[in-house]
Amino acid sequence: MSRSMWIISVLILILMISSFWFGRNREAPPWVKCKESLFAQVVMKQCTPSSFANPNNMETNENNVEDELPFEPPQN
């Protein structure tokens, strides 16, 4: 590899590490909290909560749904 390729590789590596470091404790932006597209949110005022809004709540909801579903054993 030439010297310029090494420089570019190191700069990309620094960019990746810094973006991970500074973005790890951030909340999701407001437009990610809805399932609809940004256009539908702005124009039609629609917002269905997404799993990105409350990921912990989604895990508990999935467990509750599984507990409520009836179990049917296989019939052979």
pLDDT band for position 56 (50/70/90)? low
- pLDDT at residue 16, rounded to an integer: 94
Q: Considering the entire predicted model, what is its pTM?
A: 0.39
d(CA 37, CA 45): 11
Q: Rg (Cα) of the chain, in Å, rounded?
A: 22
Asked if residue 47 lies in contact with residue 33, where contact means CB atoms within 8 angstroms, the answer is yes
d(CA 48, CA 71): 29
In the predicted structure, residue 17 carries a pLDDT above the cut 80: yes
Q: Looking at the DSSP assignment, which residues form a beta bridge with residue 34?
A: 49
Which residues, other chains included, contact 53 with Cβ-Cβ below 8 Å and sequence gap of 6+? 28, 32, 33, 34
